[in-house]
Amino acid sequence: MSVIIDLASEMEAARKRREEKTATLLREARVQTIRTSVRPGSTRAEIEERARSFYPRLSEELLNEAIDLVCGLQRTPAPAPSEG
């Protein structure tokens, strides 16, 4: 039985997966950079100021996405260390 592969569709799907993966990695890197540069408990204004200083040319949408993620991480309590 012969399987017909649509090479153009496969290449497009691979390109899309790679673009999504790249966007995810860039977002995670931005969040990590901002998060590690602010003190725990920093206000949103402080986080925004730091984010804008690191990424002055980043689109408003991507900048706000990173700021929202960092603010969300600030509100999430760190897991307690397990006693061993």
- Over residues 2-23, the mean pLDDT reads 92
pLDDT in tens, 28-67: 999 999 999 999 889 999 999 999 999 999 999 999 999 9
Tokens 């993620």 found at = 69
Q: How far is the C-alpha of 61 from the C-alpha of 66, rounded, in Å?
A: 9
| Positive or negative torsion for Cα 54, 60, 63, 68 | positive
Tell me how long the chain is. 84
For helices 44-54 and 60-75, give the axis angle rounded to 10 degrees. 140
In the predicted structure, residue 82 carries a pLDDT above the cut 70: no
Structure tokens at 71: 């603010």
In the predicted structure, residue 8 carries a pLDDT above the cut 60: yes
In the predicted structure, residue 4 carries a pLDDT above the cut 90: no
The pLDDT value given to residue 1? 63
